[in-house]
Amino acid sequence: MKKILVLLTALMFIFTLVGCSSTETKKDEPKEQTTAQETKENKESVELNISAAASLKDALEEINVNYEKETGNKVILNLAGSGKLVQQILEGAPADLFISASNAKMKDLVEKGNVEESAVSTLLENDLVMIVPKDSQEKVEKIEDLENVNGKIAIGEVETVPAGQYAKDSLTSLGLWDKIQDKIVYAKDVRAVLSYVEQGEVVAGFVYNSDATVAENSQIAQVVPADSHKPIVYPIAVLKDSPNAEAAKSYEDFLKTEESTKIFEKFGFKVPTK
């Protein structure tokens, strides 16, 4: 009888050890799986350098919040006049994807070999508008009024800011360019033009409709006739030497989703019909 009790006690002790070992193994498994998942996520997340026209600022900042949350990737946004961005890219600045405010600036990168022509597509369209300060003492209701105003008129640098070139083309087409050149103040990008008008430093300025949607102290006096300048389009393309080409293309596709296009439209952009 004593031998049987000893045997039963030994068996119970063995079963207890096996049970504890199994429980500890099961407890450890989720931890190992979680660690593996975290490692995978950290390994796959990338930093994307996006060079984009300054007029895209507000829309892209909102879209990027959604993109980063969905993908875990980080977007580093470099905003400036399209011509300035081209200069930076040609000088070796990091850029995975370029969004220009004109076909001409994108063409510069294609001709230099930085972008494949087949990779270029049109992301957005826009309108050029003339804005004036809300509390302006000058009566500027239409573009023709600029000939008789006493104050300054702001446009983007013609060589580096597409909106500046569009403005010059329009003013030339309307026969006003030569008459008002001494009143022109040049700005580094359209947001600088908007700032000049908002602060009352000029009596009028030429920006995109999308810029006017975020204005607080200025208003649209006139939409510039579309036939007085070239069509305003925003071409987009992944750079040939991007170290994150696949992720950059994925970001481009994200910008074309219904969710993103609604945000672009909210900020005054037009989405091309397919």
Binding residues for molybdate: 55, 82, 163, 190, 208
- Pull the structure tokens for residue 45: 């997340």
The stretches of the chain forming alpha helices (DSSP H) are 2-44, 57-71, 82-90, 103-111, 162-173, 177-180, 190-198, 209-212, 245-255, 258-266
Distance CA 115, CA 13 (A): 72
Q: Quick one: CA torsion of 224, 164, 162, 144, rounded to 10 degrees? A: 10
- Give Cβ neighbours of residue 131 (< 8 Å, ≥ 6 apart): 194, 197, 204, 205, 206, 207, 211, 212, 215, 218, 219, 220, 221
Distance CA 68, CA 173 (A): 44
Owner of token pair 């119970």: 12
Binding site, residues? Answer: 55, 82, 163, 190, 208
Angle between helices 82-90 and 103-111 in degrees, nearest 10: 10
- Name the DSSP class of 228: G
* Coil/strand/helix, residue 134: coil
* Coil/strand/helix, residue 63: helix
